[in-house]
Amino acid sequence: MASSRSTWSCGSPVCPLRRAPGSVIAALVQPVMFVLLLAYVVGGSLGGADNRTFLMGGIFAQAVTFNAAFTALGLANDMDKGIVDRFRSLPVPRMAVILGRTLSDLAMSVVTLVVTSLGGLLVGWCIGTSLPEAALAYFLILLFAFAMSWVGATIGLMARSVEVAQSAGLIWLFPVTFVSSAFVSTATVPGPLRTVAEWNPVSATATATAVRQLFGNPPPAGIPLGDARPVVS
């Protein structure tokens, strides 16, 4: 019985965060780095405070998308250590392990979202709409983060080792976040990449049709939006 209580005494989705403080530290440092680098380097080169405000929608989307790498690596590590096999021998639903992993990483995304918001306030970002609209924006970001964590879970399950999961869990994140309207207008993206950028799920989350519109952060005059359905209001 003692063993059983030990196994289930930490059934909360937050439990993996307590056992992996390094992941919590990464979740705190990573969004701060994104805000400072993108707001001052990219935003500064484009024209200052208005652009920093506009970029925050993309920074929110990028920060929670990168958390999917934690899901891929964590699940691959659990499989490598035999933790998943131990749970399979217990009378629990088959989806419990994956769902627990994605929910714990959703809790991580909440931490990331809080830190990113505080960092944004420090660099001049503000919410220009009502409280219900802002709450809906945060809900949309967390819903997107939960969806991306399932992509990470798929990679973690398919990877044959922790090393492969670490590489594969990061490789796809860069084109998904940067070939989008998160930080530039899709109207400036050349050739076939423009179609990819316009229909990128990050674009749909970060542009005026979603987070930026709900936060009241319209694009500055010098940043035209594309004309595809996901990136127009």
The count of structural domains within the chain is 1
Q: Please indicate, yes or no, if residue 83 is contained in any of the structural domains.
A: yes
130 Cα distance to chain centroid = 24
Can you state the angle between helices 21-36 and 96-122, rounded to 10 degrees? 40
User: Scanning the structure block, which residue is given the tokens 């403080």?
Assistant: 21
Q: Is residue 215 part of a domain?
A: no
Query: How many residues are there in the chain?
Result: 233
Residue 229 within any structural domain of the chain: no
CB atoms within 10 A of CB 147: 15
pLDDT of 149:
92
Residue 6 falls inside a structural domain = no
Is 86 part of any domain?
yes
| Predicted local confidence at residue 116, as pLDDT | 92
Domain that holds residue 120: 15-177
Q: Largest Cα–Cα distance in the chain?
A: 66
Q: Which helix (H) or strand (E) element contains residue 79?
A: helix 68-80
pLDDT at site 52: 79
Over the chain (233 residues), what is each successive 10-residue block's mean pLDDT?
A: 40 52 71 82 62 84 89 84 74 80 88 91 88 93 92 88 86 88 80 83 72 83 64 58
Predicted local confidence at residue 133, as pLDDT:
93
pLDDT of residue 48: 58
The whole-model pTM stands at 0.80
Per the domain annotation, does 192 fall within a domain?
no
Is 209 domain-assigned? no
Q: Which 3 state secondary structure label does DSSP give 183?
A: coil
Q: Report how far residue 118's alpha carbon sits from residue 228's, in angstroms, rounded to the nearest whole number.
A: 32
User: What's the pLDDT at 132?
Assistant: 93
162 vs 157: CA distance, rounded Å: 10
In a domain, 4, yes or no: no
165: its two tokens: 């999961």
